[in-house]
Structure 1
Amino acid sequence: MQRHPVRLPSVFQVFAALGLFLLMAFSFTAQLDLPIQLALYIGWFVIIGLGIKLGHSYKELEQAATQGIANGLGAVLILLAVGALVGTWIAGGIVPTIIYYGLKAIHPSIFLAATMIICSLTALATGTSWGAAGTAGIAMMGIGQGLGVPAPVTAGAVLSGCYFGDKLSPLSDSVILASSMSGVEIVEHIKGMLPIALISYIITGVLFTALGLHYAGNVDMAQVNDVIVAMEQQFVITPLSFVPVAIVLVLLAMRLPSFPVISLGSVLGVVWAIVVQDMNPLAAMNTAWAPYSIESGVSFIDAILNRGGMESMLGSVAVIVFGLGFGGLLDKVGVLETIAKLFERKVESAGSLATSTIGTAFLGNVFGSAMYVSLILTPKICAKNYDRLGYQRKNLSRNAEFGGTLTSGMVPWSDNGIYMASILGVATLSYAPFMWLSFVCIVVTILTSYMGWFVDRCPPTTEVSEVAQTDTLDAVAQKA
């Protein structure tokens, strides 16, 4: 069978294929009550069909899908480990203890601002938004529900803090990936993000403080006291329950691998369930797999604590696997490269450059279904425009980071969207409107770029080292 030369998809082919996928994704979830996993599964064959039409062999496309899955399997392992952590930490009374003391100590008027600050400090120290959301984030969700703050609002404050801290931490995988792919030193990358990130953080803090004052007047303190009493009746509340939290955070801050550290945290949860909560050893171990079950008679406690376990993450694992494969296919077929060429025609200033880079990074999340896909492809696609127009690569790494990392939690079928929705117990599209730091940061970036603020120039060049980009990509892939 004669094989045709491989070529890039046309604009019409790209929009037809991606439009069909988006139509399936939204209709399956919003109208037909079908799982997003099916939309991603069918989407594979849409892109495979397009790839074959463009001259790729089926074997090449299958390898691209499996390679995409392989590159992101670390996220699957962490997701399962966090599921075990949540289940055992609830059984061990660790999460209930944090919620108990939080309800007693945090005033409703400052709750949302305090949530953002606590989560940002946790992410900054550990270098992981996932770890911060899986520890401090879960506790703040429980406290917020006890104070009567809507869960999507609390989740927005949690994620605003988690992603801010993650972006400014030299320990963060996304920081390392974005800077490496752009050919920028990590310290320079962080310094390039710092001014806009701090401005956005202050603005977001003011917004959450104002919203917190609104909810403060609606808090029923009698209900809060009922929850505190019920916690005392259901669990042994002791400051010793903070020990596993401290151990996990310190180990993550020491830059030890996340998967074994979080798994160790779940082991400590089992120990605390047996020793502190006097739980049957087999039942305590089972909470690492099956969701913890409690019938306290208090709806708040039952809603927030009947969760966890690796079993509860299996649906999310399927989404991530299909999503990673879908992203691998899109990369192989050249879909995002075609979209980037459309942007390139209109890129002639720092403002349009920032806008196109952020847009490309966001599309990397939407169609690549994983943050790492966005952070790898965006610098590769956009670098030549920065060189051509004479802007330093740290502008590229900053814009790719803001467009890729800060929006990753907004896409229901992306790795971050699935993880955050599973951990926080709030649908992605419900909390996304309250991810205020992400929106503010992107708006501030685009506005300041058009004004020429926080933009670093360099001599323009038309020469882009494709070899250097390829070598960097290979190095990052090997490290991952």
Structure 2
Amino acid sequence: MKDVRLPTLFEIIIILGGFLALVLSFTVFLNLPIQLALFISWFLVIILGIRLGHTFQDLQKSVINGISNGLEAVLILVSVGALIGTWIAGGVVPTLIYYGLEFIHPSIFLLATLIICSIMSVATGTSWGTVGTAGIAMIAIGEGLGMPLPLVAGAVLSGAYFGDKLSPLSDSTVLASSLSKVDVLKHVRAMMVLAIPAYIITAILFTITGFIYGGKNVDLKKVDSLKSALHQNFDIQIWMLIPAVIVVVLLALKKPSMPVIVVGALLGAIWASVFQGMNFAEAIGTAYNGFHIDTGMKFIDGILNRGGITGMLDTLVVILFGLGFGGLLEKLGVLRVIVSLFEKKLTSAGNVTLTTLIVALLGNILGCAMYVSLILTPKIMEDSYDKLNIDRRVLSRNAEVGGTLTSGMVPWSDNGIYMAGILGVSTFSYLPFMWLSFVSIGLAIIYGYTGKFIWYTKNKSAQTEEVV
């Protein structure tokens, strides 16, 4: 049997350079789907794996294992697609848009967007669900109020990711804590000492920006025409929001995410049939095919013509290929080799924190899925934390900051493709306004190098920090 070895740095550079070249050439120059580039990249890594002594069967198993580790994300995304389709058909999202245009003042719109999306995300534990419902509504309201849409998208994502990484119901929160061997509630408490200051700073930034932009570009005729178009095509009443209230309450009561989201989708179909006059079979069909309407207003049609399971297929394929690619990278030990180059410098909490954030970002860039980052980062970095007797809560916190909060920044990742597609704003356009992510990353690095909120296990000699 052929001996198996780890890849050299030169081999890693060649493979990862080839991967990035494929991704960029397919998306930027050839206008080909990113999914095809990811699929071809599998075979680049497989060729390297065989060269390193692995059998094709072992490499194929690593692809399957990688995909199986993230199947929960696939199930949730399918459910969210169904939810978006029926909630638009049932008037839930149109009602949110209408009341937002009616009551939210332009000067506080960005702050309101941040708060609304963060509350919904904390309660539901899903950034995808938040962006696909409240996020769509806030984009439509922002357009009506004349706000720059990349800025609105930044506020939506800041709120959505804040809730996603603080909610014990969130799959990313559970994954980061469980793989770091930390109780999920202890992980959430460790996150709060970073997330809350970051949220306050972000809220201040969006408040100031809101007063700068608010009211300057408001076209009252456009606002009125948007509201009129919604009224003409939907029954707009406060009880249209009941399905949203039921879903938020059930998820806040810690009921399982997927069945609750499916129940919400069913309620949306019922609302479409009872209140919006749709045939029930057609209403149920929006869960699969999405919602389609022609209001005569291009922007409103662009916002409302979406959703359904079929609308999620592109992102689903990215997730599957990204998880498989991550499984191959883990099998070959690519990220472990990269980290080992800096091992001699991993002698302080600051350096370990910075390295963890970089590894998590690379997991999103190379693995193309948040799950890849959250699965690989704790496995790769845990020994470095243990050697310094740093509490695993710091590892889980840093893994989530680096993995969850950067996932929407990568145009070819699952989050990047989903967020850009749902919000109608390109990744590179909204990236500069993901202020919560940037502030959180900055605070994590500051904490690491100052020792603030860095906890140690009890067997550390000359302990300087208390364990909380």
Under TM normalisation by the shorter chain, which class is it?
over 0.9
Distance (whole Å) between structure 1 residues aligned to residue 187 and residue 294 of structure 2: 49
Aligned to 2:333: 334
Q: Give the percent of matched residue pairs that are identical in Structure 1 and Structure 2.
A: 58
Aligned to 1:391: 390
How far apart are 1:192 and its partner, in Å? 2.1
How far apart are 1:332 and its partner, in Å? 0.9
Aligned to 1:475: none
The two structures have a TM-score, normalised by structure 1, of 0.91
Distance (whole Å) between structure 1 residues aligned to residue 284 and residue 178 of structure 2: 41
Q: In the alignment, residue 388 of structure 1 is paired with which amino acid? A: K
CA contact (8 A) 2:194 2:444 kept: yes
Match of 1:194 among 187, 192, 195: 192
Q: Can you list the C-alpha shifts for 1:361-406, whole angstroms capped at 9, x where unaligned?
A: 1111222222222222212211222222232222111111111111
Asked if 1:277 corresponds to 2:276, the answer is: yes
Aligned to 1:129: 127
How far apart are 1:214 and its partner, in Å? 2.5
Aligned to 2:436: 437
Distance (whole Å) between structure 2 residues aligned to residue 232 and residue 411 of structure 1: 38
Asked if 1:78 corresponds to 2:76, the answer is: yes
How far apart are 1:125 and its partner, in Å? 1.7
Distance (whole Å) between structure 2 residues aligned to residue 319 and residue 172 of structure 1: 21
Distance (whole Å) between structure 2 residues aligned to residue 233 and residue 169 of structure 1: 38
Distance (whole Å) between structure 1 residues aligned to residue 259 and residue 282 of structure 2: 22
Q: Can you list the C-alpha shifts for 1:150-182, whole angstroms capped at 9, x where unaligned?
A: 332222111111111122222222222222222
- Please tell me the root mean square deviation across aligned C-alpha atoms, in Å: 1.8
Distance (whole Å) between structure 1 residues aligned to residue 266 and residue 35 of structure 2: 31
Distance (whole Å) between structure 1 residues aligned to residue 120 and residue 91 of structure 2: 20
Aligned to 1:91: 89
Indicate the larger mover: 421-430 or 286-295.
Answer: 421-430
Provide the aligned length of Structure 1 versus Structure 2.
Answer: 460
Aligned to 1:5: 3
Distance (whole Å) between structure 2 residues aligned to residue 459 and residue 179 of structure 1: 20
Distance (whole Å) between structure 1 residues aligned to residue 415 and residue 444 of structure 2: 22
Indicate the larger mover: 110-119 or 452-461.
Answer: 452-461
CA contact (8 A) 1:75 1:415 kept: no
Q: Can you list the C-alpha shifts for 1:255-288, whole angstroms capped at 9, x where unaligned?
A: 2222222222222121111110112333323222
Distance (whole Å) between structure 2 residues aligned to residue 134 and residue 308 of structure 1: 8
Q: In the alignment, residue 348 of structure 1 is paired with which amino acid? A: T
Asked if 1:34 corresponds to 2:32, the answer is: yes
CA contact (8 A) 2:318 2:368 kept: no
Give 1:20-419 correspondences, 5 Å limit: 20-216=18-214, 217-419=216-418
Indicate the larger mover: 158-167 or 97-106.
Answer: 158-167
Asked if 1:449 corresponds to 2:454, the answer is: no
How far apart are 1:459 and its partner, in Å? 6.0
Structure 1 pair 425–74 and aligned structure 2 pair: CA distance change class (3 A): farther
Structure 1 pair 282–189 and aligned structure 2 pair: CA distance change class (3 A): closer
Report the secondary structure of 1:406's partner residue: coil
Distance (whole Å) between structure 2 residues aligned to residue 397 and residue 291 of structure 1: 37
CA contact (8 A) 2:85 2:291 kept: yes
Indicate the larger mover: 299-308 or 324-333.
Answer: 299-308
Report the secondary structure of 1:148's partner residue: coil
Distance (whole Å) between structure 1 residues aligned to residue 191 and residue 87 of structure 2: 35
How far apart are 1:140 and its partner, in Å? 1.6
CA contact (8 A) 1:316 1:422 kept: no
Aligned to 1:469: none
Structure 1 pair 459–274 and aligned structure 2 pair: CA distance change class (3 A): closer
Distance (whole Å) between structure 2 residues aligned to residue 86 and residue 382 of structure 1: 37
How far apart are 1:336 and its partner, in Å? 1.1
Q: In the alignment, residue 79 of structure 2 is paired with which amino acid? A: A
Unaligned runs of 5+ in 1: 463-480
The two structures have a TM-score, normalised by structure 2, of 0.94
CA contact (8 A) 1:324 1:368 kept: yes
How far apart are 1:461 and its partner, in Å? 7.4
